[in-house]
């Protein structure tokens, strides 16, 4: 007797439904996406018992006619793609035509929908896989009600968590969708209580409506684009770091995604600016030609693959760094943080263009309801609103100008007059920052820059250091050291990086090896970063070294060309600012 049977359709449907619908929040996500796809500008979501008893989505979108209303429940019935090419470049949220069929397989579903060309709405009730059609009055738009989720799949129903937990998941889903659709009015009612009542807004207002003023005060706008990618959104200032990673939102072509790599790109760009155990807030929109990403990796569609993830990582990391450093994160000496307590009391810039601009731009950038060719649209809009130059003049940003008076104090600190006060720079950490970034860029470049030494020197190492040096040889070479292992634990030093001036190269090399070991013992695994850190620390000018006027100016210049002038690679502050108002206050002039 044959043992293989084709499963009856209602069972196959239940199994497939499990892929798409895991819990109430998956239903909410699918229904809201359908409403956005239908061009709705007002959506109400009603849930009861965390969505277990009822999930209802009411929208004012384009609606469906009777035929479509019935076929919308068929598996793989979709109005959104019809060819394989469409699948290659997905512009709408839905595309599998699976959601309604799946939901109807595991819950009692009623659909009520009206297109504005018709006078009455079609009501479709699915009963035992069969549609029952009636007519009723309704404004144009669609209402879908999902009762008793998993009533016919006890195993699934048992797997659901408490109402509170399921509600929390639903809330998170709504939050994400509300962020990427700030132009859509969204009301969210749970067990008769209004949870969110969001009016159409720009992104910044929407963030305020969801997270409160306190979060909005601490965010800055950033945006950048190339032919390949456009990124815009808000990131939190470091001093507004949050205790949780929950408030980090990444959207790819308006679709919420989880991507640890990209999240890491943002996080790591804060370097040591964040207090330990805090995380930056961010809401970032990445737009890439849909052909160059794959959102089809998982039915829940939250994972995405980039064609060139490395490039995206680098792009975002550079943008975040630049945004942070152009927002004047210089610790300032203030009356409230006296003496030894002068630490990282960050001031936000007087010239905080990004915030104002953000509010304005966010409205401009409010992404429209999804429609086909979003990528093109996006590009067009960008062309119509060309980006303003990012750079602010040095004076306006509170940077020193080239003609400002400079002094060296105790051969350790550089003092320089700036427009609204005095800047104090720690010469060692400043130089360290410069050398660190230079080292990193040398690692990334193909052609090492080295300066041949007139008289190559031999250097005697311990056997352990000799092995380590040989291991690091390719990295040393990129840094600019031309080293030749000579056998018997000796290295011949034939070339050095051009920035090593007036110091003994063999001493520096020995110090770098020692410090590198220390980093290694602390578990730092990125060899290049550890090497860049030890090199910059050991090759930098020391506290106590005399500097002349030209050297100080050159250093200041180079410092403010780095991506992150305000902290050294180890997290120590590089610059401190004393404002003229602060001095006036202390001398009783105010
Ligand atoms: P998909 O969204 O992948 O196409 P769904 O099962 O979610 O599949 O929906 C099936 C079809 O039903 C959609 O393609 C769309 O034509 C229609 N539809 C679903 N929800 C709505 C809605 N709120 N307004 C208008 N049409 C809708
Ligand atoms: Mg859908």
Residues having C-beta closer than 5 Å to ion ligand 2? 34, 94, 99
**Which is it for the CA torsion 312, 318, 323, 324, positive or negative?**
positive
pLDDT above 60: residue 348: no
| Minimal-distance CA residue to ligand 1 atom 2 | 94
81 CA closest ligand 1 atom index = 4
Of 258-262, 360-364, 446-450, 477-481, which range is least confident? Answer: 360-364
Among candidate residues 470, 555, 544, the one with its CA nearest the CA of residue 509? 470
248 in contact with ligand 1, CB cutoff 6 A: no
Q: How many helices (H) and strands (E) does the chain have?
A: 19, 22
- Calculate how far, in angstroms, residue 31's C-alpha sits from the geometric centre of ligand 1: 8
What structural domains and CATH numbers belong to the chain?
Answer: 9-198 (3.30.565.10), 205-328+345-388 (3.30.230.10), 406-577 (3.30.1370.100)
Residue predicted with more confidence, 92 or 474: 474
Distances (CA, A) of 265 to 315, 433, 498: 9, 20, 30
Write out pLDDT tens, residues 572-588.
Answer: 788 888 888 888 988 98
Q: How many CB atoms lie within 10 A of CB 434?
A: 24
| Minimal-distance CA residue to ligand 1 atom 18 | 34
Report the chain's terminal Cα–Cα distance, integer Å: 99
Hunting for tokens 């352990």 — which residue is that? Answer: 464
d(CA 352, CA 323): 11
Which among 31, 33, 94 is the best mutation to test ligand 1's pocket, defined by most ligand atoms within 8 Å of the CB?
94
Burial class, 316, CB count within 10 angstroms (exposed 0-12 / middle 13-18 / buried 19+)? buried
Ligand number nearest CA of 90 is 1
92 CA closest ligand 1 atom index = 2
Q: Confidence band (pLDDT; 50, 70, 90) for 50?
A: very high
Q: What is the reported pLDDT for 202? A: 94
- Calculate how far, in angstroms, residue 366's C-alpha sits from the geometric centre of ligand 2: 22
Q: What does the block give as tokens for 476?
A: 């040393």
Residue predicted with more confidence, 34 or 362: 34
Q: What is the reported pLDDT for 26? A: 93
Write out pLDDT tens, residues 145-175.
Answer: 999 999 999 988 998 999 999 999 999 999 9
CB under 8 Å to 446, separation ≥6 — which residues?
none
Write out pLDDT tens, residues 453-489.
Answer: 888 989 999 989 999 999 999 999 999 999 999 888 9
- Calculate how far, in angstroms, residue 213's C-alpha sits from the geometric centre of ligand 1: 36
Angle separating helix axes 9-20 and 99-106, nearest 10 degrees: 110
62 in contact with ligand 1, CB cutoff 6 A: yes
Ligand number nearest CA of 369 is 1
100 in contact with ligand 1, CB cutoff 6 A: yes
Which among 58, 68, 78 is the best mutation to test ligand 1's pocket, defined by most ligand atoms within 8 Å of the CB?
78
- Calculate how far, in angstroms, residue 31's C-alpha sits from the geometric centre of ligand 2: 7
| Average pLDDT score, the chain | 82
pLDDT above 70: residue 388: no
Write out pLDDT tens, residues 534-555.
Answer: 899 989 999 999 999 999 999 9
Among candidate residues 368, 370, 392, 378, the one with its CA nearest the CA of residue 220? 392
Strands 421-426 and 413-418: antiparallel
99 in contact with ligand 1, CB cutoff 6 A: yes
Mean pLDDT of 483-504: 88
Ligand number nearest CA of 72 is 1
- Calculate how far, in angstroms, residue 58's C-alpha sits from the geometric centre of ligand 2: 15
Q: What is the reported pLDDT for 501? A: 74
Q: What is the reported pLDDT for 91? A: 59
Write out pLDDT tens, residues 305-318.
Answer: 788 888 899 999 99
pLDDT above 60: residue 35: yes
d(CA 436, CA 565): 11
61 CA closest ligand 1 atom index = 24
Task: Give the 3-state secondary structure of 120-188.
Answer: CEEEEEEECCEEEEEEECCCCEEEEEEECCCCCCHHHHHHCCCHHHHHHHHHHHHHHHHHHCCCCEEEE
- Calculate how far, in angstroms, residue 56's C-alpha sits from the geometric centre of ligand 2: 15
For the entire predicted model, the pTM comes to: 0.65
Strands 421-426 and 451-460: unpaired
Mean pLDDT of 367-393: 34
Ranges 45-54, 367-376, 476-485, 568-577, most confident:
45-54
């Amino acid at each position: 007797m044959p043992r293989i049977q084709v499963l009856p359709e209602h069972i196959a449907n239940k199994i497939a439904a499990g892929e798409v619908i895991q819990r109430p929040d998956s239903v909410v996500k699918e229904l809201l996406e359908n409403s956005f796809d239908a061009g709705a500008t007002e959506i109400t979501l009603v849930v009861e018992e965390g969505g277990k008893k009822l999930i209802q989505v009411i929208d004012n979108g384009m609606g469906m006619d009777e035929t479509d209303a019935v076929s919308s429940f068929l598996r793989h019935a979709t109005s959104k793609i019809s060819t394989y090419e469409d699948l290659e470049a997905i512009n709408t949220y839905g595309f599998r035509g699976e959601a309604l069929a799946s939901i109807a397989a595991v819950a009692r579903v009623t659909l009520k929908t009206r297109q504005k060309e018709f006078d009455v709405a079609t009501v479709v009730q699915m009963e035992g896989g069969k549609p029952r059609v009636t007519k009723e009055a309704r404004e144009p738009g669609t209402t879908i009600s999902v009762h008793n989720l998993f009533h016919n799949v006890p195993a699934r129903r048992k797997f659901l968590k408490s109402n509170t937990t399921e509600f929390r998941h639903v809330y998170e889903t709504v939050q994400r969708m509300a962020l990427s659709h700030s132009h859509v009015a969204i009301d969210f009612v749970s067990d008769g209580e209004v949870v969110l009542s969001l009016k159409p807004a720009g992104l910044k207002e929407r963030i305020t409506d969801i997270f409160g003023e306190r979060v909005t005060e601490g965010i800055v706008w950033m945006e950048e684009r190339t032919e390949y990618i456009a990124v815009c959104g808000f990131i939190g200032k470091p001093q507004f770091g949050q205790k949780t990673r929950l408030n980090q939102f990444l959207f790819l072509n308006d679709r919420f995604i989880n991507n640890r790599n990209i999240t890491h790109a943002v996080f790591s760009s804060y370097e040591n600016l964040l207090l330990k155990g805090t995380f930056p807030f961010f809401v970032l929109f990445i737009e890439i030609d849909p052909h160059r990403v794959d959102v089809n990796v998982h039915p829940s569609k939250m994972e995405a693959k980039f064609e060139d993830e490395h490039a995206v990582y680098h792009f975002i990391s550079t943008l975040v760094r630049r945004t942070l450093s152009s927002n004047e994160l210089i610790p300032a000496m203030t009356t409230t943080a006296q003496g030894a307590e002068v630490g990282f009391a960050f001031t936000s810039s007087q010239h905080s263009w990004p915030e104002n601009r953000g509010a304005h731009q966010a409205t401009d950038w409010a992404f429209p309801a999804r429609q086909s060719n979003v990528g093109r649209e996006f590009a067009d809009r960008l062309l119509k609103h060309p980006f303003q130059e990012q750079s602010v003049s040095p004076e306006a940003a509170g940077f020193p100008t080239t003609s400002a008076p400079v002094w060296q104090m105790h051969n350790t600190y550089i003092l320089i007059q700036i427009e609204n006060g005095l800047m104090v720079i720690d010469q060692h950490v400043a130089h360290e920052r410069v050398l660190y970034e230079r080292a990193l860029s040398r690692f990334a470049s193909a052609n090492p820059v080295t300066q041949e030494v007139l008289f190559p020197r031999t250097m005697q190492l311990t056997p352990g250091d000799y092995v380590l040096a040989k291991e690091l040889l390719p990295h040393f070479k990129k840094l600019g050291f031309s080293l030749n292992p000579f056998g018997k634990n000796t290295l011949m030093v034939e070339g050095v990086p051009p920035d090593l001036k007036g110091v003994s190269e063999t001493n520096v090399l020995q110090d770098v090896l020692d410090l590198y070991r220390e980093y290694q013992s602390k578990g730092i695994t990125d060899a290049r970063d550890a090497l860049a850190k030890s090199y910059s620390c050991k090759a930098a000018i020391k506290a106590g070294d005399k500097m002349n006027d030209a050297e100080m100016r050159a250093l200041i210049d180079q410092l403010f060309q780095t991506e992150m002038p305000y902290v050294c690679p180890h997290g120590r502050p590089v610059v401190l600012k004393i404002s003229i108002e602060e001095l006036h206050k202390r001398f009783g002039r105010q």
